[in-house]
């Protein structure tokens, strides 16, 4: 991780609510929810990396 994100109290409360909801979707299993989040983040990172890669012109 190359940068630190600081949250204000409203952002922290919103993040907490989303985290609790995500864990609830996994029947309270925080480890299972964390594993899924890691996989989802990996897919998103791959997509971001692909957007950063210069595209070759067809021709």
pLDDT of residue 26: 95
Mean pLDDT, contiguous 10-residue spans, the chain (59 residues): 87 96 96 94 91 71
Residues 6 or more apart whose CB falls under 8 angstroms from that of 51 comprise none
Q: Please report the pLDDT score of residue 18 as a whole number.
A: 95
> How confident is the model at residue 54, as a pLDDT?
75
Question: What pLDDT, on the 0 to 100 scale, is given for residue 25?
Answer: 95
Round to whole Å and give the CA distance between 11 and 42: 23
């Amino acid at each position: 991780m190359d940068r630190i994100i600081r949250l204000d109290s409203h952002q922290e409360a919103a993040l907490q609510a989303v985290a609790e909801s995500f864990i609830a979707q996994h029947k309270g299993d925080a480890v299972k929810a964390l594993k899924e989040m890691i996989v989802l983040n990996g897919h998103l990172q791959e997509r971001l990396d692909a957007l950063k890669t210069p595209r070759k012109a067809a021709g």
